[in-house]
Structure 1
Amino acid sequence: MGKTRAYRIFTTFLLSYLLILLLPVSGLTFVVYHAFVNKLEEETVQGNLNTLDKVRYAMDEQLKRLEDTTYQMMLEDNRLSLFRVSGDHGYKAWGIVNELKRIQKMNPFLHEIWLYYRGEASVYTSSSIYALPMLADQIYQFDDWREEELSRDLNSLSERVIKPPASDRIGGERYMRVIVPVLPYRNQPYASVVYLMKETAIRQLLSNLIPTGGSTWILDPENRPIAGVGTISETEAEKVSSITASAVAPGSRKVTVGGEEHYVFSIRSKQSGWTYVTLIPVRLVMGRLAQAQTLFLYGGAAVLVLGALFVFLGMRWNYRPIRQLQRETEHILTPEGPALNELETVRYAITSLATRNRLLDERVKSHAAAAKKQLIFSLVKGEFGSEEELRLHADEIGLPVPGSRFRAAILHLASAGGDNDREIGVETLEALLQSHLPGYAAEHMETGKYILILMTDGLGDEEVRQAVLAFRESSHAVWSGSATIGLGQECGLTGLPRSYLEANTAIEYRFIQGLNRIIDFGVIPTDLSVTPYPSAELEHLDQSIRAGQSAKVEASLSAMLKYVRGSQPPLLVVRSLCLEIIRTVNRAWDELGLQEQSSSVFPDVFALERLDTLDDFEGLIRSVCSDLCGAFRSAQGVEAPLRTLDLMLEYIGEHYRSCDFSVQGMARHFGMAVPNLSQYFKDQTGETLLDYTTRLRMEKVKELLVSQDLPLKTIAEQVGYHNVSSFIRRFKQLTGVTPGEYRLQMKI
């Protein structure tokens, strides 16, 4: 029964999703089929008109360039004037022909330029100078432009004339001729310019701009064909002219040419008066539209089928985990009552999981106090090296630490001994504390004491003191006995252990200053300036550890022990010194990659708190010294120092010629961090590791260049260079010459 219900739900959802898919696909098909197809036809028409306009613009540009060229010839001070007035016929002919040749080269669209000064017997061209009869009969022979017509046009035309392309019997080419009279400042022209353009150049221009499949023609103002390309033959061009002549306005329509229906598009140029006509077979245009329609129908059907398939597969894929969840739920959480379908089973599983999660959350909350106490103890012990590490750990347990400035404090609650004493919990104390300033509280290991971590960012000393005073009064109101607070000094994250020791020292002064008050370590009358703090010995200890010199380490520790014995500083100073020694050792070991090798365990801040005598301190110092020396001996395997300059120089001498030699590998060998190794080597030798190894390599290179006739690539590999180019460049930087030049110099 449950399975039947499950498949009925699956089928219902599947049909609903298929219906949701069918509606937009069908609507989109209807809209596109009836609207987009019309739009596509309009775009096709407009696209052809735009293409035709590009042809018009290109030809107008060419004609405008002819006008600009003619205009330059009209100027009184043009370069032709210099040669025209010359009395030397040879100089005149040479200069005019060269100038025309220069002008013709500036316009590759032109085949040739003629210049004829009216009344003269010769015609100057961009290739040579010819007598008028010779030019008309021997150089070119046009059927529509014999000698008589040519002479008449050159001597009598007063405005521009464009002759349609005609065949030259001599050259076999067809040329379009543009005759332009030259008139500078009077109405009578004094010369005529003829521009010859090959019909093939015009056809090439049309072919570059017009897509294949149709025909394009250029007609002059009298609707005579100038040039054309495409499927319509030249014999049918006259029909194109008649069609264009009968056109009412620019645009497109359908005509029949050569027994086939065409779309005809026409544009007239305002500049030249030419008409540009494109004819495209209707079958091509409508064929594309039909293809688009067919492709869209097939595409819509494919989308529908694939969509249905994806919906089905998606349903099956999404359905499988639900079925699996149902089976697992029924196996683990057997529902009571009648059988449930998938959705009901999922709902039952979610409800069960939510209930379990709530119970688990309550259990976690019951352990939150322990996690918070552990965090506070870790802060006091100085186990967090950075604020990022602290916040990451605090966020995991839901304990935000927004600040970066802290103060440690210790609250001491003493019972009054009466019947009105009430227990006060950490939660109550923390709530009272946070009502005055940010902070957290945890029970101390000693009964009646509480550790407080105060966050004091942006607060002055007096503001902190007033907030702590208000907290003490609130605590005293809840606690019937005395409430005394020892307050350490402000510090950063890593200074919290010392601040805790200061707070512990301050709370011990309650026997002197009394109860129910705040005892600030900063105002305790402790003279710490009698003997200077052994900062130099701590620095020397740090350097000795990094250098691996166990004898100097023991000497530094002994010097600090002597300082304590001889100076008899306050107990706080002794505890702080011990804390600094432990932190210096741990920091150096971490940076050098060493691990603790001794079974003895260094004390944390709570153990230092119980450091009551100088004998305890001496025992701790001896333990530290023993641990360090044992670590060095274990890491080195001998009694000799772990890291010495001699050992490092020996290592470099053995490995510097290897291509695999690196500072990182050397650091790993000596168990040191790279910066520490580099700094130690420079302190000991006065030069960097890179400079030292490079100097050794270059000395070896010089020896090999002089003593052996080896290729440079071989020498580079023998001194640790993979790349011979890098080797040559480095050698030249240091010596001023290349290795090859050095070899030649030394052999001379």
Structure 2
Amino acid sequence: MRSSWFKRLLLSYLPIFIIVITFTFFVFFQLFSEQSRKEASNANKMLSLQAMRLVDTSLKVIDNMVVLETINSKPLKDFFKSNTNSDPYITIAAVQKLKEMITYYPLIDSIYMVRYTDGFVLSDATNSFVKDYADQDFIEQYQISKTPKWTDGRNFEQFKMIGGKQVVSLVRGSPYMKNDLGMIVINVATESLHKLTKDLYDTKNSFIQTQDTSGKLLFGSSMNEGGAEINSQYVSSYTNWKYGSGLVHGGLVRFISSLYNVWFVIGLLMIVMGLLWMIYVTRRHSKPIEQIAAKFSSYSLPIAGGGARRGKTDEFAFIESALDNILDQARQYQQKYQEDLHLRTRDLFHQLIDGGANLTLVEWELEAKPLKLPTPTGRCQMFVVEIDKYGDFCNNYSKGDQHLLKFTLRTVIEEIASKLDSRLWSEWTSASHLSVMLFETPEANLDEPTTLPQLADQVRGWTEQNLKFTITIGLGPLAEIVNEIPMSYKACMEALKYKTVLGENRLISSEDIASQGQAEVYSHLGAIRWLVQSFRTGEDHWIEEYDAWFMQLKQGLLTNDEIMNVMNYLIYFFGREVSGWSKEIQQMWAQESLPKLSEQIDNGYSLDQLREGIKPVLIELYDTIQQMRDTRQHTAMIREMRKFIELDYANPNMSLEFLGEHFKMNAKYVSKLFKENTGQKFVDFLIEMRMQEAQRLLTETTYSVQEVAERVGYTSAISFSRVFKKVVGYSPGEYRTDHLRRANG
């Protein structure tokens, strides 16, 4: 039925489509043809103008060259001033000049000169007298008219055996302006001019023809026949020649343009035919609409804006309003049904796992059918999927990505279950928990101990391999009846409480919890106090006690909340001990150690992670406390060493070994402590003390250099002088002399 209506409508309106497309094609073709004709006409105008300018420019260049040569060329001047009896070299030089002019201007076909004194004619190829020269008539005509312009086309025959050629000639007198000694005739072949303009156009589409002042074809193509016509024509102000151009098939173009009226009439006819066809088709298709309106006539509906106009009912408005009302009601019902379906599904799931629904298996089946849920069976088993490190999951992904990943996880669980011939029902019961209800089927017998673990482990492995997070799955016991489902769900959630101890990215069942011994929280408080005590007294074995305590925690079975309470107690006990220490340690604890420990505990998701995160913070605190203790002891020791050196610096035996023996310490350790606490090496400090005293003795006493050296700890004056000059920059004698000179002015 639908195919029949489609074909009928398609075949009804297809002729109108063809008519419109055809008319559009004709209009486009006409516009394109007219535009092309205008562009061709403009191109021909530019072609004629360009050809005229090119020819005029070339001829003007030759004209200017001839004028300049008649004025400046010595060989030409000498020729016109000489006679038959003159030096033959003058003639040779003139011929050479003519050849140079032809070489420099290839457009020139030939040149000859006429000397009036004896009628001698000299060209680039021969010489003669006017009465014997082939161009005698032209020479005599010019002597009468003397018009210095380019001539019309004429036949020039220099040698009878070669024949003549069509040329245009330029005649210039010599000398310039007077013109009484002779004349120069420049011949340019019209064929050369034709070649000059031939590269400007495509001879297959356009043509150029040039006529002289008499209307004779000078060069170019004669295209007045064969359908061609001239579209543009220009007259040169320099030569008075006419330049015309046009299209080779101009007649055909004109004929096509003349069809515009025919195409217009055809277009009008097509429009009329289209209107008639639309009237016919509309009349034919209106009958089913009238039948539909008749069926809706019994439907009572108030129409906004009035349903009648001028006493007649508006059937279309009535049908539209009725259909809109029906569709709107159906849409609202469908939307409400979908919203209620989702809410009813989640509500039923929560009632089943929370124990709030006292349903029998039959009642459950009746509820599941309209909600499009899996048909429940007599027995089922629960497991809950928890996203590990959910805080990091929320920080690493946007809201949209979180929803997408959760949807992917839920879909993957359903696909894996279908591959294992299992049926399940899953719902997100919290932000990080996906609760799944696995139903028993003939293919998946829940009595087999591998059914649920196999499904759960495949889900866990796929998530770890393909997604950027891991999951921990809590497995509940088998529920024989509907009322045991809450117990199975509660067992799943209870199993997940021990994830911190048992580890993430694994399966945890109620059997795993029952098989391990329960540990009391209070049993760990004493271990914490002992650990803190060892830490406070500075015993290095506190790290072994720390690791042993975490091993004890791992062997026990505390819930996640209990582990957090134990960790918080650890921080509390450390803080209480630190409160009795120095202000520096208390400040370091409050500003550095306590925030780091709190951050590690808040972000810790397993015992191993907590152990590895807390340990470096405590080690850093321990090392700092020990360093402070050592620093206080060493500072006092170094202070005593400095006083000892200041009092006994004149002792020649003063050295690191001497200090070490005096203070019962290793010499290398003394050097290290001295450098760390004073920032200066022991040797540099001793030399500085000695040199300061030496400068005082040299300026305030009359002791000799040897005596000064002995008083500051040197047995040799040479050694003393070398060290003094290295430190002060002067020898002891120079230093004393310089001081006395400055003191005396």
TM-score scaled by length of structure 1: 0.36
Q: What's the TM-score once normalised by structure 2's chain length?
A: 0.36
Larger-gyration structure (1/2): 2
